Amino acid sequence: MICGIAVFGVLTVVAFQAFLAQSQVAIDSLERRTTVAGRRYEQARYEHARLSAPQRIVKRAHALGLVAPDAPPRAITVAGETPTPPDATSPTLRGVAEVKATLGTRP
């Protein structure tokens, strides 16, 4: 009986050690993947910073033949119907007084 308990105890310890070893392998794999992902992220940040640098953009624009305007842009008139200014009353709110009267104190 004591021998059986001892064998069971030893097998339990061995099984636990095997479980710990498998878990450590999984943790090591995750750590490697995290490190690789971190390197890729940092490389992408560097590349973004390099490509979005104002000096690079100006240089590339000149290479494409783009130049700065002589004067700031100005509005031009277009023939046809004049659009309604944005602060004008919207036609969707017509009749709101009649609807509001039927609602009473409710919103």
Average pLDDT over residues 8-15: 86
Reference 27, options 40, 11, 35, 14; nearest CA is 35
- pLDDT, tens digit, for every residue of 43-86? 999 999 999 999 999 999 999 999 988 888 888 887 887 766 66
Cα distances from 17 to residues 2, 6, 11, 29, 47, in angstroms, run 23, 17, 10, 18, 45
Global pTM reads 0.46
Q: Which two tokens stand for residue 29?
A: 């794999």
pLDDT band at 1 (very low <50, low <70, confident <90, very high): confident
